[in-house]
Amino acid sequence: MNKLITSLAGAATLAAGAAMLTAPVAQAVTVSSSTVKYVFCSANPNGNHITYYDRYGMADKYVTLNNKVDANTYCAAIEVGIESGSYVWSSIDNDDSTYVHAAIYEVRYPLFSGSSGAAPQSTLVARDESRDRNGGFNYAIAS
């Protein structure tokens, strides 16, 4: 009986892992610019697990979000280079947060923006958020 339960648990974990690996790619957004800005927010500044893509592949790390935007929200923005026409997605999760948010912006720099001082233009292409009053595991996938 223990062996059967262990086998079923292993199969469920494998299936969940496979679904997680394939779902974001199937639902990813395509960007036409060569710059993407990922925004991650959480009610807890510590212990945030973020995942995103840049021109080198997937970045997967734990971070502290240092930018306090209101009484209960901390954020960080990461701007990366990406090949035009790439599929992108991002995620954030936290075991001890009542709120998480992930967003993807396509960034366009106007022609001669460096010499003219023109600001880059950002367009939201995907976002997701999750709330849990009890502060349990929360995750958001922007794709």
pTM score, whole prediction: 0.75
Instruction: Of 53, 42, 50, give the one whose Cα is nearest residue 85.
Output: 53
The answer to whether the beta carbons of residues 29 and 53 sit under 8 Å apart is no
Identify the pLDDT of residue 114. Answer: 61
Tell me: the pLDDT tens digits for 60-117? 999 999 999 999 999 999 999 988 888 899 999 999 999 999 999 999 988 765 666 7
Q: How confident is the model at residue 137 (pLDDT cuts 50, 70, 90)?
A: confident
The answer to whether the beta carbons of residues 94 and 105 sit under 8 Å apart is no
Identify the pLDDT of residue 22. Answer: 36
